[in-house]
Structure 1
Amino acid sequence: MEFFLDTANLDEIRAATQQGLVDGVTTNPTLLAREGGEWRYQAKRICEEVDGPVSLEVVGLTAAEMEREAEDLIGFGDNVVIKLPMTGEGLVVCKALTAKNIKTNVTLVFSAMQALLAAKAGATYVSPFVGRLDGLSQDGMQLIEQIRTIYDNYGFPTKILIASVRNPLHVLDGALIGADVATIPFSVIKQLVHHPMTDKGLEAFLKDWEAFAR
């Protein structure tokens, strides 16, 4: 499974990269706005910092608006992936960009049928929001299972990118199901590293070593 970092913060990107945990980055307007400053400058710096794919999201609602934004965003770097909404207009743009060999990430996916439509439009990635479904007392991971089955049934190359990850179990369950990517907030990345038994074991080893070394 590939790990994308869900952030627009350069310090978080650098810290996770040092641990070998960044295969790519996903951003959205909310994350970029949270960093303050000029968003275009921040987006370009992220593209320069990251070796893998960087999802940059359009904000237009019509196909014409989205296509104009996409043409601008792809100039930020060769690793840019255009993030499009799961709407009829978004699918039009997805198909058009795919025909130009421009990578796309169809976001705000909440059903297996939406994921099927995105794959048929040629999406590079599809982003089902598991955490938001869980928040509605629905089973986000059941959606991942359904998408995996559909894609495998028909050989769609579209990659399943688990989004709205809220805890380490989302990452674990997604990996067991066979999702291709999880886009993970830095706070959850830090949780993945830790286990109380690891901390307890390390403490015991150090205590024994100090006693031996005296």
Structure 2
Amino acid sequence: MSKLEQLKEYTVIVADTGELESIKKFKPQDATTNPSLVLKAVESGLYDNLIERCMANASDFDDGIDRLITSIGQEILQEVPGYVSTEVDARLSFDTEATLAKAHRLIELYEDAGWSRDRILIKIASTWEGIQAARVLEKEGIHCNMTLLFSMEQAQACADAGATLISPFVGRIMDWYKKDTGQSYTGENDPGVISVREIYKHYKEHGYSTIVMGASFRNTGEIEALAGCDRLTISPALLEELSNDDGELKQALVAPAATGNTPEAISESAFRLGMNNNPMATEKLAEGIRKFIEDQIKMEGIIKAHSA
């Protein structure tokens, strides 16, 4: 058995891509997209016909973008049996009401096309404002994937809000520490791996139902060190590497017994203080939002040029 096949015995595999051919090849349970992945898909030219159709049916440009990202999501839904994540515009990351409005519109487009909201994860940056939007959406039966998550404060607030799933970023945490310390890290001492293990342990001990999905991997060593996590979202390149490796892969995470104790919900002030005292989490969250905004704007520029 390949390491990918072995990993599937311990963990639900999620494809971190908008490329349909990769999804068909690796047969993941779920798939995630983000502005960077949508940009890559749009740049490939594979969705040119979809772009034309969505923009032709749109009431305005923003509506066309919403139609495009949900149409890409619908293409992916036909290839996976589980969830597809569709991200809210990162420019709304600090606006709860605008995030709610955008999430409602995305779900409306999916449901108008005949897809159940039970198959969709609305992907939202794990800012305080984004987490409060998720709290409302989850009560409405709209499931959320909380992304750009780098700290225990974010993880606790997402669990308090009843988020369906969190995406703690492994590789970006490691990137920060590597740059800060000049050191190299392996799976076992990788700060990103350690962070996800701590969050996983915390969630399981306290009985939270929120799914932990490790994300943003730099190498297969990080993935192997998290074998047993609820879900792992993995790029096509690393899925390929795992599928070509038939070495032994052991389960690294085993859920501890639940204690039955639920921690007190984190307050906004404690959340913000915790983030303030964690330069890695603060910097990587801000950087991630900026990068997603940059790629969203690039994607919109390509579509405007295409539609001209």
State the TM-score bracket (shorter-chain normalisation).
0.7 to 0.9
Contact 1:130–1:140, Cα closer than 8 Å, also in 2: yes
One-letter amino acid of the counterpart of residue 95, structure 1: R
Distance in 2, Cα, partners of 1:182 & 1:80: 17
Inter-partner Cα distance in structure 2 for 1:148 and 1:196: 27
Aligned residue in 1 for 2:150: 110
Answer yes or no: is 1:12 the counterpart of 2:12.
no
Aligned to 2:207: 155
Q: Determine which of 128, 151, 175 is the counterpart of 1:135.
A: 175
Report the counterpart of residue 240 of structure 2 in structure 1: 190
**Compared with structure 1, are the counterparts of its residues 35 and 113 closer, same or farther at alpha carbon in structure 2 (3 Å cutoff)?**
same
Q: Which residue identity does 2:132 align to in structure 1?
A: V
What is the CA–CA distance in structure 2 between the aligned matches of 1:182 and 1:166, rounded to whole Å? Answer: 13
Letter in 1 for 2:234: I
Q: Aligned partners of 2:80 and 2:246: how far apart in 1?
A: 32
In structure 2, the residue matched to 1:170 is 222
Paired with 1:50 and 1:193, the residues of 2 have a C-alpha distance of 18
Kindly indicate whether structure 1 or structure 2 has the higher relative contact order, using CA contacts under 8 Å at least 6 residues apart: 2
SS of the residue aligned with 1:105?
A: strand
**Structure 1 partner of 2:267:** none
- Partners of 1:196 and 1:45 lie apart in 2 by 31
Q: Which amino acid letter does the alignment assign opposite residue 195 of structure 1? A: D
Secondary structure in 1 matching 2:213: strand
How many Å separate the matches in 2 of 1:190 and 1:49?
A: 18
User: Aligned letter for 2:37?
Assistant: L
Residues 109 and 115 in structure 1, CA contact (< 8 A), matched pair in contact too: yes
Does residue 75 of structure 2 align to residue 45 of structure 1? yes
Partner secondary structure for residue 3 of structure 1:
strand
Aligned partner of 1:211 in structure 2 is none
Shift of 1:171: 1.6
Runs of 4+ in 1 over 4 A off after TM superposition: none
Q: Does 1:92 align with 2:132?
A: yes
Question: TM-score, normalized by length of structure 1?
Answer: 0.84
Q: CA RMSD, aligned part only?
A: 1.7
- Does residue 1:54 correspond to 2:84, yes or no? yes
Residue 116 of structure 1 aligns to a residue whose secondary structure is helix
Report the Cα offset of residue 45 of structure 1: 1.3
Gaps of 5+ in 2: 1-10, 43-47, 52-67, 179-190, 249-308
Q: Percent identity among equivalent residues?
A: 31
Partner SS state of residue 177, structure 2: coil
Cα distance, 1:152 vs structure 2: 1.9
- After TM superposition, give the deviation of residue 197 of structure 1 in Å: 7.3
Q: Which has the higher strand share?
A: 1
Question: Distance between the aligned counterparts of 2:81 and 2:201, measured in 1?
Answer: 30
Length-normalised TM-score, structure 2: 0.59
Q: What is the CA distance between 1:146 and its match in structure 2? A: 1.2
Residue type at the aligned position of 1:122? G
Q: Is the 8 A contact 1:165 1:182 kept in 2?
A: no
Say if 1:73 and 1:80, in contact at 8 Å, map to a contact too. no
Distance 1:104 1:48 in 2: 20
Alpha-carbon distance change, 193 to 119 in structure 1, aligned in 2, over 3 angstroms: same
- Of 169, 180, 187, 2:230 maps to 180
Q: 2:176, 2:129 → 1: CA distance?
A: 26
Change (3 A) 1:155 1:34: same
Do 1:56 and 1:80's aligned partners in 2 also have CA atoms closer than 8 Å?
yes
Select 2:160's aligned residue among 120, 135, 138.
120
